[in-house]
Chains A and B, each alone.
Chain A
Amino acid sequence: MTITQANIDAHLIPILEQVSDPEIPVLTVLDLGVIREAIEVAGVVSVKLTPTYSGCPAMDVIGDDLKAAFEPLGKKVQVELVLAPAWSTDWISEPGLQKMEAYGIARPLSESADKEVLLADAKKVLCPQCKSTNTHLVSQFGSTACKALFKCNACLEPFDYFKCLK
């Protein structure tokens, strides 16, 4: 499932593409799939934003960044936080996943494979550095709520894995 482009006014997309996730700056808010709706009516842009995790501190920053992005264009932004439907890693776009990997964060696996690597030490996560799947879990929790910490047994580099959330 890709992000619901239908809810986003086409002329707003180039501006939204300039707003990135503060924790993973290579991803735009559109790549991440956190913008559920962006509609402009009479110079006011209404944005519906959904958090990745309930406590994600990036949400406040993204809200401020959205306002800053539209301000030079003389547009006001109203940000509404929506919780339902709950965000899923399926909403990250394919180009987003590719950018994430190039940035050094392993992409989320399928739900069943995710359980195997996080619970049963299965070697399935691809090292973003050397592309080996000979990797192991170091910590179920990582530098942000959405990530777990892994290490590659082949090239010995530690790396982040973006946890599957469905």
Chain B
Amino acid sequence: MKNENLYNYILGIADNSLILGQRLGELCGHGPSLETDIAGTNISLDLIGQTRSYYQYATKISEQEKTEDDIAFLRIEREYKNVLLVEQPNTHFGYVMGRQYLFDVYHLMMLQQLQFSKDETLAAIAKKGIKEVSYHKRFSGDWVKRLGDGTAESTAKMQEAINDLWRFTAELFDMTDADTAMALEGKGVDVSKLKEGYYKEVTALLEEATLTAPEGMYFSRGGKKGVHSEHMGYLLADMQYMQRTYPNMEW
């Protein structure tokens, strides 16, 4: 493929949105309250909408005859490029909001750079996404604060979620070969430069939420290279079931 780096770069961004969208979609009808249930599915819808824009663009630059559905549903686990953070399960509501907040802060920072991409399509998707993701971050940040600075039990559960999810945050700032090549061309974002600002912002919010940012942590990596956690296979089995069972089905 002529534009292999661009193709891989797009998938790297889009897969995060797809997999997190899938995780949030699992909550549909299972949220702890009607409002949070609706919120989860609304955020999921935004993320999957963004994913579609990215995949549709990827199909245009791919030289293979692929549809957006092929890209979403017919790859094997090793071919998904999402970070480990977004595939972590919906252990409890504190995890869902913690995972969301830790991703939203990164996501917004990344899109705020991507809107200046020399690639017009990526810039347009980013500009549209910024409006949506700002709202996601507002929501997830509010919940981290509310649970963190809540009852003894909610504080303990929120801290537990942050402690468990923290080890997945460093991977967000790793540069893949496609990332490096696209950043050099002015089309992609050098995410390694976002790291300092990210931890500053997250730590400040955690303090406000009377929580502690973990220190001296071992960081897990691999998702960007297709080496996923044990949760990913189950997620894909669920997500891909319809396309695998009824090939080429459409809604």
Please list the residues of chain B having a beta carbon within 8 angstroms of any beta carbon in chain A: 34-35, 38-39, 42-43, 45-50, 52-53, 120-121, 123-125, 127-129, 131-132, 135, 138-139
Interface residues of A in 93-151 (CB under 8 A from B): 118-119, 138-143, 145, 149
A-B contact count (CB 8 A): 73
* Contacts beyond the supplied A54-B46, A54-B128, A84-B124: 17 A-B pairs with Cβ under 8 Å: A54-B49, A54-B50, A55-B45, A55-B46, A55-B47, A83-B125, A84-B123, A85-B127, A86-B124, A86-B127, A118-B138, A119-B138, A141-B42, A142-B42, A145-B132, A149-B38, A163-B135
In the bound complex, what is the Cα–Cα distance between A53 and B136 (angstroms)? Answer: 13
Are B129's CB and A141's CB within 8 A? no
Question: Can you name 5 A-B pairs with beta carbons within 8 Å?
Answer: A51-B128, A55-B48, A82-B124, A83-B128, A141-B35
In the bound assembly, the distance between CA atoms of A88 and B177 in angstroms comes to: 36
Flag if A140 contacts B138 (CB, 8 Å): yes
Select which of A83, A87, A138, A145 is within 8 A of B42 by beta carbon: A145
CA–CA, A163 and B46, complex, Å: 15
From B35, B53, B121, A138 is in contact (CB under 8 Å) with B35
Specify the chain A residue showing the minimal Cβ separation from B49: A55
B contacts with A: majority SS = helix
Number of residues of chain A lying within 8 A (CB) of chain B: 25
Show the binding face of A for B, using Cβ within 8 Å: 51, 53-57, 82-87, 118-119, 138-143, 145, 149, 163, 165-166
B127's closest neighbor in chain A, by CB? A86
* Contact assessment for A83 and B131 in the assembled complex, using a CB-CB cutoff below 8 Å: no
What does DSSP make chain A's interface, helix, strand, loop or mixed? loop
Q: Please judge, given known A-B contacts A54-B52, A55-B45, whether A86 and B128 are in contact too, CB under 8 Å.
A: yes
A138→B35 CA distance, assembly (Å): 8
Q: Is the CB of B123 within 8 A of A145?
A: no
Residues of chain A contacted by B47 (CB below 8 angstroms): 55
Residues of A near B50 (CB, < 8 A) are 54-55
Chain A neighbourhood of B128, CB < 8 A: 51, 54, 83-84, 86-87
A30 and B250 CA atoms in complex are apart in Å by 29
Known contacts A55-B48, A55-B49, A141-B139; A165 and B39 CB within 8 A of each other: no
